[in-house]
Structure 1
Amino acid sequence: MGIEARPPGRPRDADADTAILDAALELLIERGAAAASIEQVARRAGVTRATVYRRFPDKTQLLIAAVESTYGNPPPTPEIRDLEHLLTGWAAALADPRQRRLLRRLYGAFEDYPEIAAAYEKQLGSPRSDARTAVFEQARDNGELPPNTDPQVLLDILTGAGWQHLITRPDTSTPDDVEQYLRAVLHQAGFTPETRRDRAPRPIKE
């Protein structure tokens, strides 16, 4: 979604575009979706409400654009080499204080603003889930996970553990702290990387 192209005419101020999106994201993180009004965004961005409305018809569309601007334009399918790579990347994301606060705000907004949930799912949802599921399948086939492991169920478990960490652990957690936590969860699911047996991993199925 984001900022749409406009017909020929007076060029739009790119600085105002950036200021509006930055202000919306800051307010979303600081106060939540309910408090991130068009008026508050305009005030913080240093523009008029009309300037905001010319770009976004309502608050929901503005917040969706702000969330999308945070994640940029990620590849449709992320490259995750193996389970170790997944753990490292996930831990790094969950250890970022700003990212943690944003994720908690998004989770709290999904009930009242389902469009924001849909935008988040489009940016970082299904394609990434498919890639992670493929990694779990690879680990199972390599003997790092029990042969009866259901990759989708394991993904749900690890995703839930991630949300649990966001709620119950401090935002000062380091990547090592988070990775240790996620490894402990996987250990309960039977993850034993030492059983890899000095063999080349099987490629992830397309």
Structure 2
Amino acid sequence: MSQPARRGRPPSEEAALRILDAAHALLLERGYDRFSVEEVSQRAGVAKTTLYRRWPTKDHLIVTLVTRMQDAVEVVYSGDVRTDLVRYLGQVVAGLDRMRTAGRPDGAHDRSAGLVAEVAAASARHGDVGDAVHLMFARRNAVVLALLDEAKAAGELRADADAETVFDQLAGAVYYRLLITGRPSTPDYLHGLVDSALRGAAAGPRRPDPRGAHS
């Protein structure tokens, strides 16, 4: 007599989810420096060989975790692109702050970029990690670019507004403050940043291009 088919996730997928859940908790608790793949395998109840088969180094595992964190941030066009972008950037900054303070007593802040800088360094150490980081951002950025395209289609932004340029202004400023200046991206800062980025892209009469006077 044949055995009934098992329901639910395959064992390999269940193990991967346990690994990622354990790794996420340990990363926030210990930070990058004290993050141990061996302890992740113990907490997840899986053999180290199972973990290393999928993630050969802790850098590979952490990039997967960061991708998972990013995918948890919802991006939806509500009909008000300014509100949507401020909300999205606020969620990104909150996630970056969690990564910045991972493993520090009482979530202590300093000017270090923390885990974000470590991910950037990991992408330079391992070519395949770098490829994964680039793919992670390309996938995530595509969702926000689609939101901006929806705003264009709805008439909130000019039809010729370049969505990639608008997004680069927003993301570039947030990561510059995190990685270079160490200054916080407060709600007031984010509101002003979105206003500034949208000012040149908003639908309505276009301002003359000053370069035209010299052409």
**TM class by shorter-chain length?**
0.5 to 0.7
The two structures, once aligned, show a CA RMSD in angstroms of: 4.3
2:190 aligns with 179
Equivalent position of 1:199 in the other structure: none
Q: CA deviation at 1:99?
A: 4.0
Q: Answer whether contact 1:25 1:63 (CA < 8 A) is retained.
A: no
Aligned to 2:4: none
**1:79 Cα deviation from its structure 2 partner:** 2.5
- One-letter amino acid of the counterpart of residue 152, structure 1: E
Pairing of 1:34-53 with structure 2 (within 5 A):
40-43=36-39, 51-53=47-49
1:98 match:
98
Distance (Å, rounded) in 1 between the aligned partners of 2:39 and 2:190? 40
2: CA distance between counterparts of 1:165 and 1:147?
30
Matched, 1:67 2:69: no
2:19–2:51 Cα contact (<8 Å) kept = no
Matches within 5 A, 1:186-205: 186=197, 190-191=200-201
What is the identity, as a one-letter code, of the residue corresponding to 1:92? Q
Q: What is residue 160 of structure 1 aligned with on the other side? A: 172
* 1:54 maps onto 2:50 in alignment: yes
State the match for 1:110 in structure 2. Answer: 123
Distance in 2, Cα, partners of 1:13 & 1:192: 44
Q: Which one-letter code corresponds to 1:156 in the other structure?
A: D
**Equivalent position of 1:136 in the other structure:** 148
Matched to 1:125, the amino acid is: A
CA offsets, 1:171-196, max 9 Å, x none? 5x44x134234225415x52558x69
> Residue 150 of structure 1 is aligned with which of 162, 169, 177?
162
Q: CA deviation at 1:154?
A: 2.2
Query: Partners of 2:165 and 2:23 in 1: how far apart?
Result: 40
Question: Unmatched 5+ residue regions in structure 2?
Answer: 1-9, 101-113, 206-215
Flag the 1:106–1:124 CA change in 2: closer, same or farther, 3 A.
same
Identical pairs, percent: 18
Q: Does 1:79 align with 2:50?
A: no
Residue type of the partner of 1:190? G
Q: CA deviation at 1:151?
A: 1.9
- State the 1:72 CA deviation: 6.0
**Match for residue 138 of structure 2?**
125
